[in-house]
Amino acid sequence: MRPALPALLLGAVFIALSPIFVRLSEAGPTATAFWRVALAVPVLWILVLLLKGDNREGFSTRKLLFLAAGVAFAGDLAFWHQSIRFTSVANSTLLANLASIFVTLAAWLLWRERPRPLFLLALGLALGGVALLVHTSLAFSATALLGDALGVVTAMFYAWYILAVKGLRDRGAATLQVMAVTTTLTALILFPVALATGEPMLPSTAYGWWILIGLALISHAAGQGLIAYALAHLPAPFSSVGLLLQPVVAAFFAWVLLSEPLVALQIAGGLVVLAAIWLARRASA
């Protein structure tokens, strides 16, 4: 358990850096999402071949689930990067982490899995916290409100991704294989989408390329990999609390590196949303 705890915390910090990389990127938001996964693909497949082997039979029997995970992750990244463009890093990251709420709602609506009373409390808190965050955005600008809405859509896609990955893991797919295949599919999906948006596809300086490389290797490959390792070795409730570090650290980085201040109402809304996420994860544990 000891190596898993620092892996969880370090992974959360690495992922918390991703909205900073996105803000600093010289490519467009969707193009940045494409490079995020495309540059990580070779690293992930090298790790698969070196550590796990290429389980092609496993892939062939789970094609639809892999495709669902790839489409969901592509939507998650595309909408989240656009959200970061329009609203604050704190709001965007907090709202994207509402995925836990949507996972339980999906189980309730699609599979008639009756939620525990604790989840209903979490849902009420989430709605209240979102209302506070949206109120802050309304006072700031109309585009910030759009960014908040995109953050909620991000959470829906991320919930879809979580459910697809759970299905793959339940069918015996290895974590590293899931990461490599879904990252590859996500890159293939995002490439034509990024071209269609007309956004700048390439950074204009070497600095811009280093930002993309950092996003791909630090936030995506290392961050997601460390968290996947930690979740396999830590109790679920403990891991859920640890992962709440991500939006907090992201807001701190945005304050220090991007000079994004946090107002009192926004902090209050953020704390309520964090409490809702924690309760939702406890209810589904």
Residue 220, pLDDT > 60, answer: yes
Please write the tens of the pLDDT for every residue from 74-105. Answer: 999 999 999 999 988 888 888 888 887 787 77
* Class of residue 112 by CB neighbours under 10 A (exposed 0-12, middle 13-18, buried 19+): exposed
DSSP structure class, residue 49? I
Mean pLDDT of the region 207-224: 93
Helix pair angle (206-214, 29-38), 10° resolution: 60
Total count of domains within the chain? 1
Rounded-to-integer distance, Cα 16 and Cα 240, Å: 15
DSSP structure class, residue 93? H
Banded pLDDT at 285 (limits 50, 70, 90): low
Rounded-to-integer distance, Cα 107 and Cα 205, Å: 46
173 or 252, which is more confident = 252
Please write the tens of the pLDDT for every residue from 153-193. Answer: 998 998 888 888 888 877 777 878 888 999 999 999 999 99
Please write the tens of the pLDDT for every residue from 53-72. Answer: 555 555 555 788 899 999 99
Q: 170 Cβ partners below 8 Å, 6+ apart?
A: none
Are 76 and 84 in contact by the 8 Å Cβ rule? The answer is no
Range of the domain at 269: 4-284
Banded pLDDT at 28 (limits 50, 70, 90): very high
The DSSP-derived string for 181-208 is HHHHHHHHHHHHHHHHHT---S-SSHHH
